[in-house]
Amino acid sequence: MRKDFLWGGATAANQCEGGWKEGGRGMAIVDVIPQGANRMPVMQGILDYRELPEGSCYPGREAIDFYGHYKEDIALFAEMGFKCYRFSFSWSRIFPTGEEMEPNQEGLKFYDSLVDELLKYGIEPVVTLCHFDAPLGLVEKYGSWKSRKMAGFFLRYCEVVFRHFKGRVRYWITFNEINMLMHLPFMGAGIRFEEGENQLQVKYQAAHHELVASAMAVKLAHEVSPDFQVGCMLAAGSVYPYSCNPADVWESMKKDRENYFFIDVQARGGYPEYAKKYLERQGIQLEMQREDAKILKENTVDFLSLSYYNSRCVRADGQGEAAGGNVFASAKNPYLECSQWGWPIDPMGFRITLNALYDRYQKPLFVVENGLGAVDVPEADGSVHDDCRIDYLRAHIQAMIAAADEDGVDLIGYTPWGCIDLVSATTGEMSKRYGFIYVDKNDSGEGTLKRLRKKSFGWYRDVIASNGEKL
């Protein structure tokens, strides 16, 4: 691996920060996403959070209280030797309702302190501007990304943080897993559907707004500092044909394109022909402004970031078993084992995905999420033996190193997801743990929030120290 490879870890404000009422923070999308059976319909935008029963539990509000523990947590990251740390700013901590003309100074102060703490240890901050997040005020008043106005509010927020953190933060990611908008539109983008609304139309219109906003953010970033590196972010995972039947192969290509669409716009600078034809066939007409095509064309991203948890699989006949636990519809791949949450485990697919993305875009890749969600139970002495996580990460790191060293994929860094246990995005559980650091909190919200080093903690420290040679 290259000597300056950025080993680190990743979290996001919506799932770890908590402190929902601290420091003048405004309400955010995550604050109204409940735990339990209502979670999925709310995230899908088909159940209105204002209709939830009283007493619903909202795990993101406190999360693991990174807000109150960040110094302790960053010290642990430093102990593992992190070269970088990916996290997100909470937009509503900086613009509480989204509409203020001036930022909330207390919010900026919090991130000043967080960023300075990282820099103190020589850890490079990698900031996601919008990780399943937006001020609830903008959701309520404008319908979030349904409205073009959202781009203006987003840009105001970008302008403030770009100028404020210039010289301290270099890597920026615009929208986390931008393609998640198609699957969990409320969680991803604050979209709630009205009765009878054409959902596909709404989603693609919102996507257009985000894509234009992302390109405008790239433009602004480069104006503020030529040093800034701005990336897009894809929930990646190549789609395999279930068989060599050409119908399956064609289906897999179409499925891949549903995801590539976003990155084709962000990295290549315009709507691809297949997407224009698809939208036309679906009867979708997007409202675009005259300058949009130019903005998209002239402001492509500097790098591409991605999450990879698993590959996907598709059958043209739609028959057979579905892969469990997956927000992306996928057929069950008979060659793969699955995690406790039913997500397929496919390290080879990681190498395939990295190669496919690099072949297609020829831009540096940054792996900003990967990992295994699993149950961990601390022993009486406080040790946590998470060997299955080590096995998962070892195999994936090997595949990633092969992609870099044998295939020549240009890789910037690797930040496994949930380097410290945090709230699961899809399930809202604490028990779906990804961390090298255990956090004492259960699914009912009880626990001391105490942090413990898992076995993987020492293992990953050695991986980093040997630049991936000691696995």
Among 92, 104, 176, 205, binds ligand BGP (CB under 6 A): 176
Quick one: three-class SS letters along the chain?
Answer: CCCCCEEEEECCHHHHCCCCCHHHCCCEHHHHCCCCCCHHHHHCCCCCHHHCCCCCCCCCCCCCCHHHHHHHHHHHHHHHCCCEEEEECCHHHHCCCCCCCCCCHHHHHHHHHHHHHHHHCCCEEEEEEECCCCEHHHHHHHCHHHCCHHHHHHHHHHHHHHHHHCCCCCEEEEECCHHHHHCCHHHHHCCCCCCCCCHHHHHHHHHHHHHHHHHHHHHHHHHHCCCCEEEEEEEECCEEECCCCHHHHHHHHHHHHHHHHHHHHHHHCCCCHHHHHHHHHCCCCCCCCCCHHHHHHHCCCCEEEEEECCCEEECCCCCCCECCCCCCCCECCCCCCECCCCCECCHHHHHHHHHHHHHHHCCCEEEEECCCCECCCCCCCCCCCCHHHHHHHHHHHHHHHHHHHHCCCCEEEECCECCECCCCCCCCCCCCECCCEEECCCCCCCCCCCEEECHHHHHHHHHHHCCCCCC
Site string for ligand BGP, 231-270 (x = CB under 6 A): ----x-----------------------------------
* Least Cβ distance, residue 368 to ligand BGP (angstroms): 9
Compute the least distance from the CB of residue 184 to ligand BGP, in Å.
9
- Which of 19, 45, 373, 416 is in the footprint of ligand BGP by CB under 6 A? 373
* Pairing state between β 229-236 and 365-369: unpaired
Which C-beta is closer to ligand BGP: that of 62 or that of 369?
369
Looking only at residues 101 through 120 of this chain, which bind ligand BGP when binding is defined by CB under 6 A? none
Choice between 104 and 214, CB closer to ligand BGP: 214
How far apart are alpha carbons 386 and 378 in whole angstroms?
9
Binding ligand BGP by CB under 6 A: which of 177, 210, 292, 376?
177
Smallest distance, ligand BGP to C-beta of residue 206, A: 18
Is 197 an annotated catalytic residue?
Answer: no
Q: Which is nearer to ligand BGP, 260 or 308 (CB)?
A: 308
As measured in angstroms, the least distance from the Cβ of 27 to ligand BGP is: 19
Are residues 90 and 14 in contact, defined by beta-carbon separation less than 8 angstroms? yes
The rounded radius of gyration (Å) of the Cα atoms in the chain is 21
Distance of closest approach, residue 224 Cβ to ligand BGP, in angstroms: 26
127 forms part of the interface with ligand BGP (CB under 6 A): no
Q: Which 307-326 residues touch ligand BGP, going by CB under 6 A?
A: 307
For ligand BGP, the closer of residues 295 and 367 by Cβ is 367
CA angle (318 as vertex; 238, 372 as ends), nearest 5: 40
Q: Choose the binding region for ligand BGP from 63-71, 265-273, 424-432, 445-453 (rule: CB under 6 A).
A: 424-432
| Residue choice 267, 367, 425, 430 for contact with ligand BGP (CB under 6 A) | 425
**Antiparallel, parallel or unpaired: β 437-439 and 451-453:** antiparallel
Smallest distance, Å, CB 132 to ligand BGP?
Answer: 6
Q: Would you count residue 87 as binding ligand BGP (CB under 6 A)?
A: no
**How many binding residues for ligand BGP (CB under 6 A)?**
14
Answer for which of 214, 238, 300, 424 binds ligand BGP (CB under 6 A) is: 424
CA distance 35 to 348: 34
Q: How far is the CB of 348 from ligand BGP (least distance, A)?
A: 20
Stretch that binds ligand BGP, among 117-125, 146-154, 268-276, 417-425 (CB under 6 A): 417-425
Q: What is the sign, positive or negative, of the torsion defined by CA atoms of 173, 178, 181, 187?
A: negative
Say whether 177 is catalytic: yes
Residue closer to ligand BGP by CB (options 165, 309) is: 309
The residue (of 42 and 295) whose beta carbon lies closer to ligand BGP is 42
Q: What is the x/- site pattern for ligand BGP, positions 186-225, by CB under 6 A?
A: ----------------------------------------
417 binds ligand BGP (CB under 6 A): yes
- Between the alpha carbon of residue 471 and those of residues 182, 398, 460, the distances in Å are 37, 8, 8
Residue 6 phi/psi, 5° resolution? -90, 90
Catalytic residue, from 62, 124, 369, 429: name it.
369
Q: Which residue has the tokens 């390290």?
A: 347
Smallest gap from Cβ 166 to ligand BGP, in A, equals: 26
**Comparison of 12 and 108: residue with beta carbon closer to ligand BGP:** 12
- Binding of ligand BGP at residue 426 (CB under 6 A)? yes
| Segment interacting with ligand BGP (CB under 6 A) among 25-33, 101-109, 394-402, 422-430 | 422-430
Show the site string, 12-51: x = touches ligand BGP by CB under 6 A, - = not: x--x------------------------------------
- Choosing from 62, 177, 251, 429, the catalytic residue is 177
Residues that bind ligand BGP (CB under 6 A): 12, 15, 176-177, 235, 307, 369, 373, 417, 424-427, 432
Residues known to be catalytic: 177, 369
